[in-house]
Every structure is written in C-alpha cells, then in structure tokens.
C-alpha cells in the first residue's frame, strides 16, 4: 500500500508540473500521452490530498494560485533531482528504452531522419519513437522534446547541446522546358533576371546564399514569382516550369536523374548549410537520446553526400 501511495503522489506531481509548463491541461495531456480528462482528474486528486487550490481556472485560461506557485517551485526542484538520478543510471544502460520525442524539419525529416529512427525503433523493441515534422524552430524544452534536428546556423544557447551531423550542399535548378524558354543563367546578375520560387516563413523570404568572386557569401534575394513554405512544393513548382528553385542537393539530385530538373549552379558556388542534432543540456544523456544521435551521425552524412 505504501508503494502505491508513493507512486500516486509522484504521478500527480509530474502531471501538475506538466500542466503548469504546458499552459493548458490539453497540451499537458498530449505531452504525457494521457487524455485531458485524466489530467484534470489527477490535478483534482492532488488538490484534494493537499487541501489547497492550485489553479485559478476559467473557460479561456488557467493560472497558478499563490499556493500553486509555491508548490510548483518545490516540485520542480524535487523532480529535477529525481530526473538527474534516473539519467545517471540510464546513461550506463546499453538498451535504449522509453518514449523518444523528436522534432525535425518537414522534408529533411521525412527523407533523412525518419528512415534512420524507424530502423532504430525496430532494433530496440523497448524504444517508442515519436517524430514531429515542422519547419518552425521548436522550443525543445518548452514543448517537451528529447531531440531536435536543425538545418542552418545555430544561435548560441546555454540550455541546448549540439552535435554536427554534416553539411547540406545546395543547388539551383529549373525544368528543361523553363531553360529552353528563358535561357540558362550563368552568373549572379543573370539569376536576378529570372523568375524564382522562394521559400518563405512568417512573411520573410529566405535568401539564396552564394559565394562571390572573392569567396564572401552573398545573400541573393531573387525576383519571386511564387512564395511557399514547403520545399517539396518548391520542387513541384520548378518541375512545372514556374521558375528557378534553390534546393538541397540530396533532393535536387533525384529530379536531375529523372530528367525533371536540370542543375544551373551547385557545389562551391553556393554556400552549404550545417545540419545539427540538438537536445536539452543535461549532465547525463539518456541512452535513448544517445542512441538516436549516434544513429543519425552514422547515417545522415552519407545521405547528404548523395
């Protein structure tokens, strides 16, 4: 009986902390793989046991009471100690196990991350891999992810650790029909005379990074005939003859082989992008996270080189 009471208390504390940090019972439920009803009942049991109200709840928002804030501060410290102890033990475990939440860019994640982690999950039956594909920069700590994949320059961060997975080379391509109709640009100045399909996010166009004559990186902003926020849609539009496309070479190569696109510029003329695995900084790295990072580091460079 004593063991059951202790487990119930710890379970209730974890649900409570997640509900605070997620900002809603619904998001906490998603992170914990529970229903919203289960989260609500757990909080209700915790409040009943403590004899205190932890949340101010309305139909639109929730906020901590004074008692809730004081209890949360202590719970966070207690859970941090438990997590450190568990991670220390887990770091020496050979068999990865448990739920691994990974965030990856949409197209890169599908083609270069998902196959690797799918094989990892097949090799380790006690490991449950959950991958979220999204091109926005996810806050790994705030949103409860174990691992993230980032393409491009990494900002300085004291809360995240990183491992370089390789360099993503870029290429500029267009359909044979477009080139026949509009010509083949050979210089930066000529590129700017052509229609381009541009990647955009939150109203900001992503510049094309090229190397100038003296080696400096030039940020080219071509004339956009079409703006989209998905690399696959950019490739599809280029194949349809809508204009030039700036694409990763691992993606462009496939369409060159099928004859749907032709390469206009690539290699040293275009600046490459670094690819990193990033994860929340911790003294001990869980075996599940370490196994995923090692698998990606072993496989992704060859995919990028192809």
CA distances from 227 to 202, 215, 243 (A): 11, 29, 11
Residue 130's nearest CA partner among 146, 107, 153, 154 is 146
CA distances from 71 to 18, 20, 184 (A): 13, 11, 66
Report if pTM > 0.75.
Answer: no
Reported for 237-240, long-range contacts at CB under 8 A and 24+ positions apart, including other chains, are: 237/197, 238/173, 238/174, 238/175, 238/178, 238/197, 239/175, 240/175
Phi, psi of 220 (to 5 degrees): -90, 130
Quote the CA–CA distance of 208 and 221 in Å, as a whole number. 6
Quote the CA–CA distance of 207 and 222 in Å, as a whole number. 8
Residue 75's nearest CA partner among 2, 152, 18, 144 is 18
168-271 and 94-167+273-305 share a CATH fold: yes
| Ordered per-residue pLDDT tens for the chain, 306 residues | 444 445 456 668 888 988 888 888 888 888 888 888 888 899 999 998 888 999 987 767 788 999 989 998 888 888 877 777 766 665 556 688 889 999 999 999 999 999 999 999 999 999 999 999 998 888 998 888 999 999 988 887 778 899 999 999 999 999 999 999 999 998 888 988 999 999 998 888 999 998 877 777 888 888 899 999 999 999 999 999 999 999 999 999 999 999 999 999 887 778 889 999 999 987 778 889 999 999 999 999 999 886
Mean pLDDT of the chain: 87
Q: Cβ(225)–Cβ(217) under 8 Å? A: no
**What are the extents of the domains in the chain?**
13-91, 94-167+273-305, 168-271
Pairing of strands 204-205, 195-201: antiparallel
DSSP three-state, residue 93: coil
Residue 63's nearest CA partner among 100, 109, 13, 19 is 19
The per-residue pLDDT for 28 is: 86
The per-residue pLDDT for 92 is: 58
The per-residue pLDDT for 3 is: 44
The per-residue pLDDT for 1 is: 41
DSSP three-state, residue 195: strand
Q: Which CATH number fits domain 94-167+273-305: 3.30.70.20, 3.40.190.10, 3.40.50.720, 3.90.110.10?
A: 3.40.190.10
The per-residue pLDDT for 33 is: 80
CA distances from 168 to 35, 270, 300, 301, 303 (A): 40, 11, 10, 9, 9
* Cα angle, residue 278 at apex, residues 291 and 19 outer, rounded to 5°: 95
| CATH dotted code for 168-271 | 3.40.190.290
CATH 1.10.287.3510 fits 13-91, yes or no: no
DSSP three-state, residue 58: coil
Q: Cβ(243)–Cβ(237) under 8 Å? A: yes
Q: Cβ(83)–Cβ(285) under 8 Å? A: no
Quote the CA–CA distance of 65 and 56 in Å, as a whole number. 6
């Amino acid at each position: 009986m004593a063991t059951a009471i202790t487990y119930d208390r710890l379970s209730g504390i974890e649900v409570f902390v997640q509900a605070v940090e997620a900002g809603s019972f619904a998001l906490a439920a998603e992170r914990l793989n529970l229903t919203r009803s289960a989260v609500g009942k757990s909080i209700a049991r915790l409040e009943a046991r403590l004899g205190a109200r932890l949340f101010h709840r309305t139909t639109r928002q929730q906020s901590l009471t004074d008692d809730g804030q004081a209890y949360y501060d202590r719970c966070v410290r207690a859970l941090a100690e438990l997590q450190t102890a568990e991670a220390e033990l887990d770091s020496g475990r050979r068999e990865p196990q448990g739920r691994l939440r990974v965030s990856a860019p949409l197209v890169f994640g599908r083609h270069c991350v998902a196959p690797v982690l799918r094989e990892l999950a097949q090799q380790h039956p006690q490991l449950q891999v959950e991958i979220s594909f999204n091109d926005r920069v996810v806050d790994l700590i705030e949103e409860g992810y174990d691992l993230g994949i980032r393409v491009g320059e990494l900002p300085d961060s004291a809360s995240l650790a990183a491992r370089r997975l390789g360099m993503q080379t870029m290429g500029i391509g267009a359909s044979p029909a477009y080139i026949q109709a509009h010509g083949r640009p050979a210089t930066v100045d000529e590129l700017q005379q052509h229609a381009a399909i541009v990647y955009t996010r939150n109203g900001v166009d992503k510049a094309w990074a090229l190397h100038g004559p003296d080696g400096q990186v030039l940020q080219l902003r071509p004339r956009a005939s079409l703006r989209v926020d998905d690399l696959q849609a950019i490739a599809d539009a280029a194949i349809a003859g809508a204009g030039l496309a700036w694409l990763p070479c691992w993606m462009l190569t496939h369409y060159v082989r099928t004859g749907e696109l032709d390469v206009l510029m690539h290699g040293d003329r275009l600046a490459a992008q670094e690819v990193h695995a990033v994860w929340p900084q911790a003294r001990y790295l869980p075996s599940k996270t370490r196994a995923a990072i090692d698998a990606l580091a072993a496989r992704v460079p060859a995919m990028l080189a192809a």
